[in-house]
Structure 1
Amino acid sequence: MKVNSGRDADPADVPAAFDDGAPAYDTLVDSNPGYHEHLRISAQRMRLPEDGRGVRLLDAGCGTGASTAALLSVAPHAEIVGVDGSEGMLAEARAKQWPDSVRFVHSRIEDLAAAGVSGPFDGIFAAYLIRNLPDPDAQLREFRTLLRPGATLAVHEYSVRDSRLATAVWNAVCATIIIPSGRLRSGDASLYRYLRRSVNRFDGAAGFRDRLRRNGFTAVHSETMPGWQRNIVHTFLAEAPR
C-alpha cells in the first residue's frame, strides 16, 4: 500500500508506505548532507547525564535506526527501546549491529501499551514522527505520561511555515532532489511527495511550541540546525511537569 497521492494524504497510510520504501531508505537519507549529524545534535540537546548510565529512553518512530544510533552516540550506556509502526523499517534496523541495551518493538506509536511498552522513561526522542500522526495532541499527552517528572521530550522535526525563505528552499529541494531521488532509488515517489506536502502543512516552530505547552509540557524551547536546513529542521525540547 502506498501513501495516498492526493492532496490530503491519510497519516494512517504512512507505516505501510514506509514498508514499501524501507529497502531504499538508508541509501536515500545517507545522501542528505547533515541528516545523521543533525539527529546527533538533537540527541545532544537532550543533555542526558553520565553517558546514559541508569537512563531509560524511548526512540519513538525509530525507523531504520538512524535516530537510535544518534541516541546511542550520546548515551552509550542507556537502555533504549526503539518503536516503529513499519515492519519493513524495523527489519532494516534489526539487521544492524546493536548492543544488548537496545531493543526494537513493532507497534504504532498510539498502541505502545498493547505492545508491552510502558514508562517511565528518562527521555523520549521523536524524530520525524509527530507530523505524521492522525492525532498529535493525544500522542503528546501520552508522551507526557510516559516520562518521569522533569524528563525531556525531544522532537526532531521539519517546520518551515514561519519562514518564507525556509519554505522556498524546502520546496525547491523537494522538487529538484528529494522526489526525483526517491523515484530513482525506490521506483515510486509517492512517499516523498507526501513528505513535501506534510512539511508544508505542519505547524510553524512557534505554533508547535504552543502545542507542546497546551498539552502540558514545561520549559518549552526550540533550536534550529546549521547549514542549508536552518529554519527547516528543528529540535523542540520540553519537560514533563515536575
Structure 2
Amino acid sequence: MPLLRDAALATAFDHGADRYDRLVALNPGYHAQLRRSARRLAALDGGGARRLLDLGCGTGASTAALAAAFPGAEIVGVDASAGMLRRAGAKRRPSRVRFVHAPAEELDRAEVGGPFDAVFAAYLFRNLADPDAVLAAVRGALVPGGWLAVHDYALSGRRTDRLVWSAVCRGVIVPLGTATGDRGLYGHLRCSVAEFDTAPAFGARLRRAGFGQVRVLPLPGWQTGIAHTFLARRPAADGDR
C-alpha cells in the first residue's frame, strides 16, 4: 500500500477524524504514553516553559498531555487536518490553548511564529515528505536552549520488534481501519512505521539537524521497542552541541 503524503494524508485524516479517538482508545496505554512523553519534556526545565508548540496535534490528545505537564503555559496546537482540529476544538480545554490549521511545513505562512520554549511532536515526522526541512524549521522556532520532544512509533531495529509491529497491524490495526472505512489511513500507518527511520536512525537525524543532547527513550508496555520518546535540544549558542 502506498504511503499518503501532504494533501492526500490530510484528506484521509479528515475522513477518519470522527472515529479516530475511539480507535486509538483501543490501544492500551495510548494516552498514558503521551502523558509520559510530555512529563519527560517538562522534567528537562522543571515544567517552566511558558510557550509551547504542539506540532501535529491531531484531535488534541497530545495537547491535553502538554497542558497537564505545563500548568499555565500558552500552547499552540497545529495540524494539517481540518477534521482532526474540529474534533480538538470541540473538547473542553484551557483558554491558554489555541489551535491553528496549517501543515507543519507552513508555520511561517500560518503566522505561527516563535520563539517557543519547547516543541512537542507526536506521530508526525514519519508522515512528512521532508522531515529534515521541518526539523530545521522547528530548530529555528525554538529559543536557544529550547527542547524538542518527539513521541512516535520508531522501531528499535531488532527483528522481533518489527515482527510484533507487523502482527499487530495485520491482526488489529488494518482490520479495524477497514471496518470503519479508513483502510487507506491505517494501511498508511503500518507502512509509515515500517519504512521510516529506526529509533537509532531518527536520533542520528536529530543530530544532523543541529540538535544536541539527543536522548532516545523507550516507552513501556507492549510498545517497548516500537514506540519511543526522543528528546533533543537546540544549542544555547552556535557550536554548542
Tell me which interval the TM-score lies in, with the shorter structure as reference length: over 0.9
Residue 191 of structure 2: which of 192, 197, 200 is its match?
A: 197
Identity across matched positions, percent: 54
Matched residue, 2:127: 132
Amino acid at match of 2:186: Y
8 Å CA contact 1:182–1:189 kept in 2: the answer is: yes
8 Å CA contact 2:5–2:128 kept in 1: the answer is: no
Q: How far is the alpha carbon of 1:165 from its aligned partner? A: 1.1
Matched residue, 1:110: 105
Aligned CA RMSD, in angstroms, stands at 1.3
8 Å CA contact 1:209–1:220 kept in 2: the answer is: yes
TM-score, normalisation: structure 2 = 0.94
Q: SS state of the match for residue 235, structure 2?
A: coil
**Residues 1:19 and 2:14 aligned together:** yes
Matched residue, 1:241: 235
Q: SS state of the match for residue 119, structure 2?
A: strand
Q: SS state of the match for residue 62, structure 1?
A: coil
> For 1:48-67, what aligned pairs fall within 5 Å after superposition?
49=45, 51-52=47-48, 55-67=50-62
Partners of 1:96 and 1:200 in 2: how far apart? 32
8 Å CA contact 1:161–1:200 kept in 2: the answer is: no
Q: Which portions of structure 1, spanning 4 or more consecutive aligned residues, are displaced by more than 4 angstroms?
A: 48-52
Matched residue, 2:216: 222
Structure 2 gap segments, 5+ residues each: 237-241
Matched residue, 1:79: 74
> For 1:110-189, what aligned pairs fall within 5 Å after superposition?
110-160=105-155, 162-184=157-179, 186-189=180-183
Structure 1 residues 208-234: Cα deviation after superposition (integer angstroms, max 9, x where no partner): 111000010000111011110001000
Partners of 1:24 and 1:57 in 2: how far apart? 27
**Residues 1:7 and 2:34 aligned together:** no
Structure 1 residues 87-144: Cα deviation after superposition (integer angstroms, max 9, x where no partner): 0000000000011100000001111111110000000000000000110011101100
Q: How far is the alpha carbon of 1:51 from its aligned partner? A: 4.5
Q: SS state of the match for residue 144, structure 2?
A: strand
Structure 1 residues 59-114: Cα deviation after superposition (integer angstroms, max 9, x where no partner): 00000000001101111211000000000000000000011100000001111111
Matched residue, 1:3: none
Partners of 1:9 and 1:85 in 2: how far apart? 13
Partners of 1:130 and 1:26 in 2: how far apart? 20
Q: How far is the alpha carbon of 1:35 from its aligned partner? A: 0.4
**Residues 1:88 and 2:103 aligned together:** no
Q: SS state of the match for residue 203, structure 1?
A: coil
TM-score, normalisation: structure 1 = 0.94
